[in-house]
Structure 1
Amino acid sequence: MNKILLYFLLFVGIQSFSQELNCNLVINAQQTGNENFQVFTTLEKQLTEFVNNTTWTNKVFKPQERINCSMVITITNKSGDLYNGSIQVQSTRPVFGSTYSTPVYNVNDKNFSFRYQEFQNMVFNPNQFQSNLISVIAFHVYMILGVDADTFALKGGEAYFQQARTIVNYSQQEGFSGWKLEDGLQTRFALIETIQSQTYKEYRQVLYDYHREGMDQMYEDVKTAKKNVADAIIELEPMNNRRPNSYLMRTFFDAKADEIEQVFSDGPSVEITKLTSVLNKIAPIHAGKWRSIKF
């Protein structure tokens, strides 16, 4: 919490919405044994330009309004033009009145295979399949945009989530894993299905309450803001009662566990008995962090 509180210094220029992407994209091909192949460097360069230069929405963007994010693609196997691996996607958004950025999206997508020929064109069509490489990248771009928008306005990311669903729908027929119900419980299909489902309705409310009513109020009243963050987390309990240990819940705490530990381990004291009880129930994998909370 000391580190977080230090960041809560007033600054100018936070807008209502972060816009577009400032993405650090990395290709990790060490597991192939041929990480020095030029094709991996070319792929990294092409994808970096594709993600950062594509116009993903109809908004007007300023450089300082771009969403900071990262994509790390780990290639485990390459056979001809077929690549297999995973992609770790993370994003943050600025907190009002501070220089601190809070993590909001953290997904490890393990169902990632694609075909790529060096220097092939990379163009996104919102209504038509181009390649699995483009579909997976674009899906996560719209998930980043959707989650980010939800943290600023209640259900503000709906249009972006709908585009992510469109990508899922037109990619299902192409024979790649991760797009269908039968592909498992931790897939792109599962992610968009749950985030738009009434069964998990608390999730999007919590995104808003945690960030706008909690983190964004730290600059004005830290104690009240901490209480609001705690109340937002507790809102997840009914969702967990309906679907224990859901993929959506895990992605939330993959992004937030470290921050929650820091927020409630220092600064003004708030009542945390209910909070820690709920945390241990809905996110037991992070029990060590919850035990570290001191107040």
Structure 2
Amino acid sequence: MRNLILLFTFLCTHVIFSQELNCTVNVIAQQTGNENNVVFKTLERQLTEFINSTKWTDKTFGLQERINCSMVINVNGYDNDLFSASLQITSSRPIFNSTYSSPVYNYNDKEFNFQYLEFQNLVYNPQQFESNLISVLSFHVYMILGMDADSFALNGGDDYFNQALTIANYSQQLNGQGWKLEDGLQSRFAVINNITSPTFSEIRSAMYNYHREGLDVMSESPKDGKSQIISSLDELQKVHRKRPNSYLMRLFFDAKADEITDILSGGPSVNISEAVDILNRIAPIHSQKWRNIKY
């Protein structure tokens, strides 16, 4: 009996410590006029379990290493098992020797239409299309993993982005929005196609330098960390020169604008006037925030 208990404890520990995400899923259905329908709570519970219990990589994550993220599904209509919705995804990563978590991925997927039967089995197949529901969520899981890995190692997200691209490619068989080039510059396909392109390589190197060489060293050397963050903005400017107003740049600043404003406004004194000029040039949509930077 004792051996059985020990085996059970080991298996539970392995499950708890092997998964990669700590994801909060919320299903909001106020726009349907029937938000109290039990199917929405069932969907919320099933998706939470699916995302947090699926093994997405071949790596082992400790409990404290799991990536904190959230997915908010805003259902605007449904008919039997057909749902139309939007999906807001955010993720963050901890900063070394700090209680602060830095936002990394912030994406609003406006075309999230899917089929769902209450209590249906949700299974991810890495090489085969299962459903648009599975494909969209799995795609964003790998985007979260890739962005997080890029923030810890230069081009560390390669494997995850390649899997997101695989999902986008095999999901094109569906006539759903977001999987094809013609679906626009903000589609899932456009995002993964761009982030795996050499044209946007400086965005990925900026992710690493901003986080690993910038934020992660600020507890020991605030001035060096702040200077490195400013330096990473110059890398982003290189992308802007090649592809002005790209959606990838917008994704970066949707996650980082408030944080950059706070960092440049406080801490040790460094020359940030050039950094503010760069920000106004490459991210004018946040110009009001840049005006609030105190220097």
Shared fold per TM-score greater than 0.5:
yes
- After the TM superposition, which residues 31-180 of structure 1 pair with which residues of structure 2 at under 5 Å, given as runs? 31-180=31-180
| Partner deviation per Cα, 1:48-69 (whole Å, 9 max, x = no partner) | 0000000000111221110000
The one-letter code of the counterpart of 1:250 is R
Q: Distance in 2 between matches of 1:61 and 1:195?
A: 25
User: 2:225: which partner in 1?
Assistant: 225
Identical pairs, percent? 61
| Range with greater deviation from structure 2 (128-137 or 237-246) | 237-246
1:186 to 1:199, Cα distance in 2 relative to 1, 3 A:
same
What's the counterpart of residue 3 of structure 2?
Answer: none
- Please say if residues 19 and 67 of structure 1, whose CA atoms lie closer than 8 Å, have aligned partners that are also in contact: no
Q: Conserved in 2, the CA contact under 8 Å of 1:28 and 1:35?
A: yes
Match of 2:272 in 1: 272
> Cα deviation per residue 1:138-170 (whole Å; 9 max; x = unaligned)?
000000000000000000110000000000010
Unaligned 5+ segments in structure 2 are 1-17
Quote how far apart the aligned CAs of 1:19 are: 7.0
CA RMSD of aligned residues (A): 1.0
Paired letter, 1:73: I
SS in 1 for 2:227: helix
Please give the TM-score of this superposition, normalised by the length of structure 2.
0.93
Name the CA distance, whole Å, in 1 between partners of 2:111 and 2:50: 21
**2:210 pairs with 1:207:** no
Q: Does 1:188 align with 2:188?
A: yes
- Which amino acid counterpart does residue 139 of structure 1 have in structure 2? F
Return the TM-score normalized by structure 1: 0.93
Secondary structure at the aligned position of 1:235 is classed as: helix
Mark the structure with the bigger radius of gyration: 2
Q: 1:180, 1:164 → 2: CA distance?
A: 14
Q: How many Å separate the matches in 1 of 2:173 and 2:115?
A: 16
- The aligned counterpart of 2:286 is 286
Tell me by how many angstroms 1:214 deviates. 0.3
Is the CA contact (8 Å cut-off) linking 2:19 and 2:55 kept in structure 1?
no
Letter in 1 for 2:232: A
State the number of aligned residues: 278
Contact 1:69 1:92 in 2 (8 A): yes
Deviation at 1:97, TM superposition (A): 1.0
| 4+ residue segments displaced more than 4 Å | none
Point out the structure with the larger helix share.
2
